[in-house]
Amino acid sequence: MSAKNIEIKYTNLFINNEFVDAVSKKTFPVINPATEKIITNVAEADKADVDIAVAAAKAAFARKSEWRKLDASARGRLLDKLADLMERDAEELAKLEALESGKILGYCLFCVQHCVKVLRYYAGYADKIHGNTIPADGGNFALTRKEPIGVVGQIIPWNVLLIMITWKLAPALAAGCTVVVKPAEQTPLTALAVAALIKEAGFPKGVVNVLPGYGPTAGAAVALHNDIRKVAFTGSTEVGQKILAYAGQSNLKNVSLELGGKSPLVIFDDADVDEAVEMAHMATFTCQGQTCCAGSRIFVQAGIYDEFVRKATARARQIKIGDPLEYGVDQGPQIDQPSFDKILRLIGTGKAQGAKLQTGGDRFGTQGYFVQPTIFSDVTDDMTIAKEEIFGPVQSIFKFNTLEEAIERANKTEYGLAAGVITKNIYNALEFSQAVEAGSVWVNCYMAITTQLPFGGYKRSGIGREMGEDGLQGYLETKTIVMAVKK
């Protein structure tokens, strides 16, 4: 399947339900990571465009606006309509995301299906948001109301843009907020295609605005804007710290952050080795290793360590690398040159610091940002590849002996996004899942992420939760109302 079959329909900013040029008329190139060639040029938003978009979102949130006067159930129907449209255009959206992100087409189709489920889940929640009556002291009548927080800024990463934009938009819109979205500069085309569907679904003007641009300009303007009441960000821990600082420098806006990870997957020697190899393979190599919750530290108990390393290496060598738009390909390119360079640099440190290279370890081919699936064994906790987030197709395998050792070493990281354990021993499973410092713990499974389950991190992996009811609460304020009752 050739990129020539993909029609690029939208390249302008989306503000107030219209596609418009940037105020500056500037554009920037979108690069195909499989070929390193320009796909097209897209309008580049900066502070002036953010100001216009925020004004549109603020007007759409005004007390007597069309959006605010909608029944809650009507908001739900709009989300359901958007889900219908994404389902209708699933192949087109998947091809577009595969083209600009380098993710394989099959995975992108899965992402669209997941997005549809998220939209339908929060569509059902829209008319079920309510407060409580409270038997307060003093004989007064007291109640709480749940109200939308207001204009929200959402800064979306490139690795799974469709999923991330839906995780953020769906609860915000179900709650009744209005939104300014800044997609990653590497993947704006898919975000703009979603914007067109939002308009087609019938959302009122200004409810959703999409501004492609760069982090230091458009992203910073969103995070610093005094009329934005909340910023939701997914990305690196370093940028997340800047977002938090910007919130403090401006209006103390609410912030939710889903950041980096260095997630452990612990495999005990009572596990089925073949099943464990397959699970660890998926945990590491899904999306070219470009997932925040990737199982990037594989701890294997000594009794099965050598067998696991041998079989994991053989499994990695089966990966088919190539054009992400071709069915049957298992791994596409990394997202861009800086990511490609970082991964190869970290692989170099693994070699230099004494980890044993089992397979891979270099670029693949001569064109595109392709990296060979790489496995290191004999990795120790002090090595750079054991501590830094690689965000690439690199599996690091560690040896451990006891449960207590596994817990201590799993927690020996500044991150705490996810963790996994594979064992037939219920004591080991329960003890590890309670002791490990991570927002999600998967027992005998990995990346078991569904719409109903909250997702987020401990420590430097973030603040707040997305998905499930917890994800909705982040877009709501609680108002307490007390009425004096006189006889």
Of 85, 231, 86, the closest CA to residue 149 belongs to: 231
Distance CA 80, CA 57 (A): 21
Residues recorded for the chain = 487
Enter the tokens of residue 313.
């290496």
Of 72, 61, 52, 353, the closest CA to residue 222 belongs to: 52
Enter the tokens of residue 235.
């990305």
Distance CA 324, CA 337 (A): 17
Under a CB-based contact definition with an 8 Å cutoff, are residues 339 and 369 in contact? yes
- Phi, psi of 433, rounded to the nearest 5 degrees: -65, -30
Q: How far is CA 372 from CA 39, 289, 319, 321, 346, in A?
A: 24, 11, 9, 8, 13
Distance CA 105, CA 373 (A): 18
CA quadruple 26, 32, 33, 35: dihedral, nearest 10 = -130
Under a CB-based contact definition with an 8 Å cutoff, are residues 350 and 383 in contact? yes
Distance CA 440, CA 432 (A): 12
Distance CA 45, CA 25 (A): 9
Residue 324: CB atoms within 10 Å: 29
Give me the residues paired with residue 13 across strands: 20
Catalytic position from the list 44, 100, 185, 258? 258
Of 19, 18, 27, the closest CA to residue 46 belongs to: 27
Residue 479: CB atoms within 10 Å: 11
Enter the tokens of residue 314.
């053989």
Which strands sit side by side in the sheet containing 13-15, from one edge to the other? 18-20, 13-15, 208-210, 178-183, 151-156, 230-234, 254-258, 462-463
Distance CA 484, CA 392 (A): 61
Enter the tokens of residue 334.
């990394």
Distance CA 424, CA 291 (A): 27
Q: Is residue 258 annotated as part of the catalytic site, yes or no?
A: yes
Enter the tokens of residue 343.
């991964």
Q: Which residues, other chains included, contact 402 with Cβ-Cβ below 8 Å and sequence gap of 6+?
A: none
Active site members: 258
